[in-house]
Amino acid sequence: EAGVTQSPTHLIKTRGQQATLRCSPISGHTSVYWYQQALGLGLQFLLWYDEGEERNRGNFPPRFSGRQFPNYSSELNVNALELEDSALYLCASPNHSLFANEKLFFGSGTQLSVL
């Protein structure tokens, strides 16, 4: 069974540019969670997609957006990049559960550097 895949591994951009990050969840999983992990900080919840729809978003500005495709893969877009957007962006594929007992399978992440 293929795990969660993310691309690219590294991305270097300059301030004001736009970045697109991609994620494919585990086959059969319909949900994708996106997280930002800045250096020395914990994981911050960004976005949750399920069945093609945005279910919830964390406390991030609107320039962080995304979508989920019919095959459940997902894109995260960050517009008007700022220096503080430099971070490891992680995508997670939860084992879908009706109850609060979700185990997360993470992709290896995209390291975004904004210069």
Partner 1 sequence: RKEVEQDPGPFNVPEGATVAFNCTYSNSASQSFFWYRQDCRKEPKLLMSVYSSGNEDGRFTAQLNRASQYISLLIRDSKLSDSATYLCVVNRNPAGANNLFFGTGTRLTVIP
For residue 8, state whether it binds partner 1 (rule: CB under 8 A): no
For residue 63, state whether it binds partner 1 (rule: CB under 8 A): no
Phi, psi dihedral angles at 20 (to 5 degrees): -125, 125
For residue 48, state whether it binds partner 1 (rule: CB under 8 A): yes
CB 55 within 8 A of CB 96: no
**Binding residue for partner 1 (CB under 8 A) from 13, 86, 104, 113?**
104
CA distances from 53 to 2, 17, 30, 72 (A): 23, 26, 10, 10
Interacting residues with partner 1 (CB under 8 A): 31, 33, 41-43, 45, 47-48, 55-56, 58, 88, 90, 94, 96-109, 111
